[in-house]
Structure 1
Amino acid sequence: MSTTDEHPGSSGSDVAGPTHGGPDDDHTPAQLAAMDRTELDRLGARYDGVEILHVEPGPLPGSGLEKQATRQVTMWFALAAFFAVAFLVVYAGSGWFLPGWEWEVGADAWSALFTPLLGLAMGLSLLCIGIGLVQYVKKLLPHETAVQDKHDGSHFDRVTTGATLMSGLDKSGLPRRKLLLGTLGVMGAAFGAMLIAPLGGLIKNPNTGNPLGTTSWAEGVRLLRDDGTPIRPGDQQPGSLETVFPAVEGGNRQADAATMLIRLRPEQQFSEEPREGQADFSYGDYVAYSKICTHAGCPVSLYEQETGRILCPCHQSQFQVTQGAKPVFGPATRPLPQLPITVDDEGYFVARSDYIEAVGPTYWNRERI
C-alpha cells in the first residue's frame, strides 16, 4: 500500500483552519473609520477590557429638570460672554484697540482703573466659564463609572475611542440644546476676541521710536519743581539740590524725566575735563543730572554737599558731581547722564535738549563708560 506524505498545513483533521488576528486584520483602516459605535460594538469593542461599574443617566430629555439645568448653564456661559465683551470695551477705551476712541476720563483716574478693570473683567469671564462647565457636567451629562486594563492600542482601539467620543457627544444632548449651543458660540467668539485683543496694542503702540533712549526733555522745556513752579538762578542756596521735571503734561509723574538740579558751592571746582560733547552743559555753578541710578534704576536722592557726592540709597553707589557724576563707589559703572541747561528770555531755567544718552541702568546694547 502506497503512502502519501502530508505536508504540514495541507489537509487533515489535526490541522487548524485559518485564524484571524481580530478587527485590524479583517478590516482595513478606512473600513473601521467608516463604522459607527454600534458596528464597532459588534466587532468586540464593548468587550475590549472595559467593565462598566455604574451608570447614572442624566435628566430625561424635555423634563423640567433638564430645562432648569439648561437655563442655569446657559446663564453662566452668557455671563462669561458679557464679561469678555466688557474686557473689550475697557481695552478699547485706551485707544489702542480702536484708535481714535478713548474714554473721556481724567488721565489719573484712567491710569489707576485701567489695569484693575481689565483683570476684573477677564477674571469674571474665566470664573463664569468654569462654573458653567462644572454645572454642565454635573447636571446634564450622564455619569458612567468604568475601568479598563491598560494595553497597547491598535488602530481598532483608536477608531473605537473616536467613535466613543462622538457617541458621548450625542448622549450629552448638546446638539439638540440649541439655545445652549448658540450661547456657547457667542461665548467662544467673545472669549477668543478677549484673548487676542491685547494684540491691538500693536496698532497704536505708544512705545514707538526710541522710548528707552529718550525722555520728555527738549530744547526750551522749562525746569519745574514738583509743585509746578519754574526756577531761576539764585533761587537755590549754594550746595543745595532741587528735583525738577519737564514743563510738559504729566511731567512730574514721568519717572525717567526726574532730574537733580544742583548748585555747587563756591569752593567746588570740576576736577576733570567734561566728557566729550558736554563742555557747555552746565550753567554757571548749576549742573543737572538724571535722578535715575545707572545701576538698577533706583532714585539717587541723597546729596553730600561737602564732598560733592550723590548717593543711591538702594545699593550704595556714589557719584562725584565735580567729576561729571562719575561713579566712585558701589556697583554702578556709568556716570549719571547730564542734562544741558540754560535760561530763557524770562530768566528761568530751560533744557537745551534732551539727554544725549539714555537714562537708567545699562541694558543689552548700551556700552559702559
Structure 2
Amino acid sequence: MSTTHSGPGAAGGDDTSGPVHGGPDDDYSPERLATMDRTELDRLGARYDGVEVLHVDPAPEPGSPLEKRATRQVTMWFALAAVAALAFLVIYAGSGWFLPDWEWQVGGSDWSALFTPLLGVTMGISLTAIGIGLVLYVKKLLPHETAVQDKHDGSHFDRVTTGATLLGGLDKSGLPRRKLLLTTIGLMGAGAGAMILAPLGGLIRNPNTGNPLGTTPWADGVRLLRDDGTPVRPSDQQPGSLETVFPAVPGGNFHADASASVMLIRLRPDQIEELEAPEGRADYGYGDYVAYSKICTHAGCPVSLYEQETGRILCPCHQSQFLVTEGARPVFGPATRALPQLPIAVDDEGYFVARADFPEPVGPSFWNLGRL
C-alpha cells in the first residue's frame, strides 16, 4: 500500500501540485512497524498486503455437529498415526537398539523373517494416516478462499504484515480452541519423529563392537557341519572332493553367516606331494584335508568351483583362480590375496573341528592388507 501526500512538506519545501508517493516504510521506522499488531497494520491501508479476496467458503461453525464430526475424523486419523508410530518403535526395540534382543518365537515358530515387513507396515500406516488426516483437516476444518495478490516490493512493511498474516492464519485454523486435536497432533508428531529417527540409533549404539570385519563364528573346538547340520569325519569324503561346511552353534544347528562358509577339500595323493604350505601354516591342515574360506578375496563372491585335476579353486563371478596346493594363492584373475585358511583338527569323537578362527579377515581385500 502506498499513501499519497501533497504540500510543501512533501517536496522538501517546494510548492508542487503533483502528488508525491510515500508509504508506511516512509512514515514509520522498521522498529515501530515490528511492534504493531494486526489491527494497527490493517489501519495503515485496506490493501496493505495487496490481497483481494474474490470468494470465501467459510469453515464450519464452531460447536456445530458438522464441525464436531470433522474434528473427530481428523483426530482419529492422527491418533492412528501415533499408535502405528508407537508400534514401529516397539517392534524396532526387538532389534536390540534400546532393549535386549527379542526371541521372535511365537507358538514354537520363528517369526524373525517378519521383523522387517512389520517395520514397513507400521511405518506405512503411520505416514498414510498422517496424510489422510492432513487432507481431511484442510478440506473440512479450514475456510477456503479464492484471492489474488499483487507482487510485493520486498519492503519491511511487507515482511511484517506477512508474519501477522501467518499468525492470523493460525487463529483461523481453529487449533488453539481444539485442545484434543492439538494434543493428538502433538503425540502424532512426537511418535512420527521418533519413528523416523529410531533407525539412526544404530549410528549411536553400534552393535558391531570389537573387530566384526576381522572375525567369524569359527573358534577352537567348533565343529564343521554340512548344510543339513551333520558333522564331517575324515572318512566321509573321497580324494579330490570338496564339501561346503559351516560352524556349529549350540543346539546342533549351524551358523548361517555367509562370511563363515568354508570349503573342506580332500587332496589327492599326487597333490599332497606338491603341497607347499605358506610359512607358519604347515599344521593348518589335517592329513590330506585343507579348509579355505569360500568368500573370494576380490569382490566377496562365493567361490564354488573346484578343478581337482589342476588343483585350482575358481570364482565364477570374475574368473579368479586359486591354487590349492600353494595355500590357495591367486594364480589368475583380479584377486590379489590368497583365500584365508582355517586351521582344522579332529575331536575326540572323530569329527572335524576348527582349531581357531581365520588368521586374517575373509572377503574382499582391506585397504591396509595390500597384496599378500
Matched, 1:298 2:304: no
Matched, 1:344 2:347: yes
**Residues 278 and 150 from structure 1, CA distance in 2 versus in 1: closer, same or farther, beyond 3 angstroms?**
farther
> Which region of structure 1 is more displaced relative to structure 2, 106-115 or 48-57?
106-115
Deviations 1:70-117 (CA, angstroms, capped at 9, x unpaired): 111001000000100100111122332223766555998343011111
CA shift for structure 1 position 293: 1.1
CA shift for structure 1 position 271: 4.9
Matched, 1:275 2:278: yes
CA shift for structure 1 position 255: 0.8
Number of the residue aligned with 1:308: 311
One-letter amino acid of the structure 1 residue matched with residue 73 of structure 2 = Q
Q: Distance in 1 between matches of 2:183 and 2:361?
A: 54
Matched, 1:258 2:265: no
CA shift for structure 1 position 65: 1.1
Unpaired stretches in structure 2, ≥5 consecutive residues: 1-8
Conserved? CA contact 1:76–1:132, under 8 Å: yes
Matched, 1:320 2:323: yes
> Which region of structure 1 is more displaced relative to structure 2, 119-128 or 9-18?
9-18
Conserved? CA contact 1:216–1:246, under 8 Å: yes
CA shift for structure 1 position 346: 2.4
Counterparts of 1:43-62 in structure 2, within 5 Å, are: 43-44=44-45, 46-62=47-63
Number of the residue aligned with 2:182: 181
Deviations 1:219-276 (CA, angstroms, capped at 9, x unpaired): 1111111122211212110000011111125634111110000001111147574333
Q: Distance in 1 between matches of 2:12 and 2:168?
A: 46
The DSSP-based 3-state class of the residue aligned with 1:180 is: helix
Give percent identity, aligned residues only. 78
Q: Distance in 2 between matches of 1:358 and 1:246?
A: 16
> Which region of structure 1 is more displaced relative to structure 2, 130-139 or 198-207?
198-207
**Residues 280 and 12 from structure 1, CA distance in 2 versus in 1: closer, same or farther, beyond 3 angstroms?**
closer
Conserved? CA contact 2:321–2:332, under 8 Å: yes
Conserved? CA contact 1:54–1:146, under 8 Å: yes
Number of the residue aligned with 2:191: 190
Deviations 1:157-177 (CA, angstroms, capped at 9, x unpaired): 111111101101111111111
CA shift for structure 1 position 18: 11
Conserved? CA contact 2:327–2:338, under 8 Å: yes
Number of the residue aligned with 1:287: 290
Conserved? CA contact 2:104–2:110, under 8 Å: no
Matched, 1:357 2:360: yes
CA shift for structure 1 position 22: 2.0
Q: Distance in 2 between matches of 1:335 and 1:11?
A: 92
Number of the residue aligned with 2:214: 213
**Residues 65 and 280 from structure 1, CA distance in 2 versus in 1: closer, same or farther, beyond 3 angstroms?**
same
Q: Distance in 2 between matches of 1:9 and 1:311?
A: 93
CA shift for structure 1 position 120: 1.0
One-letter amino acid of the structure 1 residue matched with residue 327 of structure 2 = G
> Which region of structure 1 is more displaced relative to structure 2, 45-54 or 248-257?
45-54
Counterparts of 1:17-32 in structure 2, within 5 Å, are: 21-32=22-33
The DSSP-based 3-state class of the residue aligned with 1:342 is: strand
Conserved? CA contact 1:90–1:114, under 8 Å: yes
**Residues 312 and 121 from structure 1, CA distance in 2 versus in 1: closer, same or farther, beyond 3 angstroms?**
same
Conserved? CA contact 1:251–1:257, under 8 Å: no
Number of the residue aligned with 2:100: 99
How many residues are matched?
A: 362
Deviations 1:181-224 (CA, angstroms, capped at 9, x unpaired): 11111112222222233344467643111111100001111111
The DSSP-based 3-state class of the residue aligned with 2:244 is: strand
Conserved? CA contact 2:295–2:363, under 8 Å: yes
Q: Distance in 2 between matches of 1:57 and 1:84?
A: 34
Number of the residue aligned with 2:83: 82
CA shift for structure 1 position 150: 3.1
Conserved? CA contact 1:226–1:252, under 8 Å: no
Counterparts of 1:212-251 in structure 2, within 5 Å, are: 212-249=213-250, 251=254
Conserved? CA contact 1:272–1:322, under 8 Å: yes
